[in-house]
Amino acid sequence: MITPDRVVRTVCPYCGVGCALELHVKDDLIYRVTSPFDSVVNQGNLCVKGRFGYNFIYHPKRVTVPLVRRYLLEGQPRPPRAEAPQASYPGNGSTPSPWDWIETDWETALNLVADHLVRIYRESGPKAMATYGSAKATNEDNYLLQKIFRALFRTNNVDHCTRLCHAGSVTALMQSLGTSAMSNTAIEVLDSDVFIVTGSNTTENHPIIALHMKRAVRERGAKLIVVDPRRIELVDFAELWLPLRPGTNVAVFSAMAHVIVKEGLYNRAFIEARTEGFEEYVKSLEKFTPEFAENVSGVPAEDIRRAARLYATAKNGAIFWGMGISQLSHGTASALTLVHLALLTGHIGRRSTGLNPLRGQNNVQGSSDMGVMPFHFPGYMRVDAPGNAEKWEKAWNIEPGGLSRELGLTTTEILSHAGPHGVRALYIMGENPMMTEPNLNKTRHHIEQLDFLVVQDLFINETGVYADVFLPATPFAEKDGTFTNTDRRVQRVRAALPPRGQSRPDWQILCDVAKRIEARLGRPTAGWEYQHPSEILAEVSRVVPEYAGITYERIEKDGLQYPVWDLKHPGTPFLFSETFPRGRGRFIPLDYVTAAETPDDEYPFILTTGRLLEHWHGGTLTRHSSLDELYPQAYVEIHPADAEMHGIQDGMMVKVSTRRGEVALRAHVTEKTTVGVLFIPMHFAEAAANLLTNDVLDPQARIPEYKACAAQVFPLHEEMLSPLPRGRY
């Protein structure tokens, strides 16, 4: 039995559940991960990622020394960026190229970053500058990144991956309620008597929340309604499964609302006291009969009626959803249909009810809170609303009128604006748009148009190969800070290990970059002399009311759920008990729109994408861990009836194509998917699902349509028939 030198309590770096971890360290090596049973979030439970997915920290491909391109060190003009991925890493003995990576010291790397960013800013102004924050990084890291670009470069071209996951949910909740966070605490599902799960493969994407859901059904007798095109594991626990066609959410949930209104199951007292727009909304429901919804979605009308009655007559009804709701060209409307159900029934503002978008990454909620969005300063203060910019000008020692009041570019717009007269400089911290953007062939073309690209990360991933400078950061186990989980709990992240090599925590890198930029621009200091991340969070708390009572001392063990209004406030497990941030909840009439692409003779399938239990996001972390052995390669799910029609057998190599590209991968013949629907996980660069996905955007949220596009599948070579490789298929 190994006796650890120390056991360090921290937070899991993967999904938004925010499980507490105990890292057992011996001789600066993590040899075991457990979880405390007194954790209010996960009660000692961990999924396979949390328990075994940490050894990417030690992977030999991790970069631990600053890297710059040869052409920069030699003072040569930048060659075409398209040549960058073919360049060599130091010391491999190949013919020198201007794009070769050269190891250097921090002083050289940081000075080059500051010199080139300031040069481009002086030449082209604020609109030439942009940054991607990271839902993997801490609150403090993300706050500093947006502060650099707003305070020093005077631009709101600041965004992160929330644009690619829950932007539709955020927009809908802001429009109707005035806030965008999850309304309740996940574990409250144990006291819900009916709950809906839609657009979320919860057992694989948020496994610990799924444990709570299963307990609610098994031990408490709760009724579960699953609305999903795939037969996910939760269907086995469901009272009712509505297997809708991808992209038809608006029809199905509006039809449920139609039933609730027509059968008088709505909560009139709640509607009169706390909502507005009800009468106009009811008129808009006339066309959404269950029969209409059945025709477009494939869900039987009687099942829609049963689902509506179950939810409306519940004592405590809750709704949980994932990106199957938001990642659509009508993602905002899709999420609004869920908001409407809660407002109709009054299942909001109480424990074990509410509207609960499940956030995909460990700190996507916190990154949004910290203002890493083009429309909002920290605390969701609109950049164009009177009085908000003035608060941050005072906090950051900026002259009156110095901060931009102009809405910035979103993640999906930043690269599409790349070029000599648009965005010229891009700073990416911990993101991988060359895996996560839709229509990757177009993304590649855009990224090649940049003048200067800085990547701050752990590995040279599919985006990092295009960078001019690579700054080696530290992972969760080598840094201090805070993460904010999906139910608004701000928790401590603690360093268990010293940084490997010359790598440094993101916040320290950013402070050194900021000081160099500030000196070159001659700006009055905005304050970059932080000694610890706790000082950064304290700066946030002085301006953002919801974080006012959060200090490192108060979150030492279990964290606090914001809003925390002052130093004595206990936190807020559920929201809206008395009012909504905008006053009254708003009903918004909707029309039915289809996905941008629907099947036809050339592309007869609907392709949808998602995640797996063993992998996460773009794969930068899990594919450098031992988890990759469990799921070593990509596959496409296809229903047995479709497979037979197309001459496809389990394990066969197939080609999946759309109007944007094609990939070759294995076929997995399974009834987990439904007839006419293909599913590809998003984690595998060698068969990147986002080469195929549609880059059409929701006009309000600017989120792409990852969850529905027209596709075709063909067998490749019959002689390549073989069993699927080892792993959990």
User: Consecutive 10-residue runs of the chain (729 residues): their mean pLDDT?
Assistant: 91 96 96 95 95 94 97 94 81 76 98 98 98 96 98 97 84 93 96 97 96 97 97 97 96 98 98 98 98 98 98 98 93 97 98 95 94 96 97 97 97 94 98 93 96 98 96 98 97 98 98 98 94 98 97 96 97 96 97 92 96 87 90 94 96 96 96 96 92 93 93 78 44
Nearest to 573, CA basis, from 559, 556, 557, 584: 559
Ramachandran category for residue 655: left, alpha or beta (phi over 0 → left; psi -120 to 50 → alpha): beta
Residue 333 CA from chain centroid, whole number: 19
Does domain 67-73+100-160+363-475+501-555 fall into CATH 3.40.190.10? no
Token pair 């001392």 is found at 553
| Residue 632 exposure: Cα atoms within 13 Å on the Cβ side | 6
For position 360, what pLDDT does the model report? 85
Topology at the third CATH level for domain 605-720:
Barwin-like endoglucanases (2.40.40)
For position 180, what pLDDT does the model report? 86
Token pair belonging to 642: 């479709």
Buried b (16+ CB within 10 A) or exposed e, 206-236: bbbbbbbbbebbeeeebbbbbbbbbbbbbbe
For position 493, what pLDDT does the model report? 98
Q: How far, in Å, CA of 63 to CA of 47, rounded?
A: 27
Nearest to 245, CA basis, from 266, 267, 229: 229
Q: How far, in Å, CA of 368 to CA of 374, rounded?
A: 10
User: What are the tens digits of pLDDT across the range 450-502?
Assistant: 999 999 999 999 999 999 999 999 999 999 999 999 999 999 999 999 999 99
Residue intervals of the chain classified under CATH 2.40.40.20 are 605-720
Instruction: Render 172-217 in DSSP notation, one character per residue.
Output: HHHHHTS--S--S-GGGGGG-SEEEEES--HHHHSHHHHHHHHHHH
CATH architecture, domain defined by 6-52: Single Sheet (2.20)
For position 93, what pLDDT does the model report? 57
Residue intervals of the chain classified under CATH 3.40.50.740 are 67-73+100-160+363-475+501-555
Token pair belonging to 32: 């075991």
Alpha-carbon distance values, 122 to 1, 100, 522 (Å): 61, 28, 12
Answer yes or no: are the C-beta atoms of 668 and 637 closer than 8 Å.
Answer: yes
Instruction: Render 663-684 in DSSP notation, one character per residue.
Output: EEEEEEE-TTS-TTEEEEES--
Nearest to 12, CA basis, from 459, 494, 370: 494
For position 86, what pLDDT does the model report? 79
Q: How far, in Å, CA of 537 to CA of 695, rounded?
A: 36
Answer yes or no: are the C-beta atoms of 383 and 390 closer than 8 Å.
Answer: no
For position 364, what pLDDT does the model report? 93
What pairs with residue 196 in β-bridges? 225, 319
Residue intervals of the chain classified under CATH 3.40.228.10 are 167-357
Answer yes or no: are the C-beta atoms of 148 and 514 closer than 8 Å.
Answer: yes
Helices (H), 354-439: 364-369, 388-395, 411-414, 433-436
Q: How far, in Å, CA of 479 to CA of 3, rounded?
A: 23
According to CATH, the superfamily of the domain at 167-357 is: Dimethylsulfoxide Reductase, domain 2 (3.40.228.10)
For position 165, what pLDDT does the model report? 80
| Phi then psi dihedrals of residue 321, to 5 deg | -145, 160
For position 544, what pLDDT does the model report? 97
Three-state DSSP class for 725?
coil
Q: How far, in Å, CA of 15 to CA of 365, rounded?
A: 11
Alpha-carbon distance values, 523 to 399, 402, 423, 571 (Å): 10, 11, 22, 38
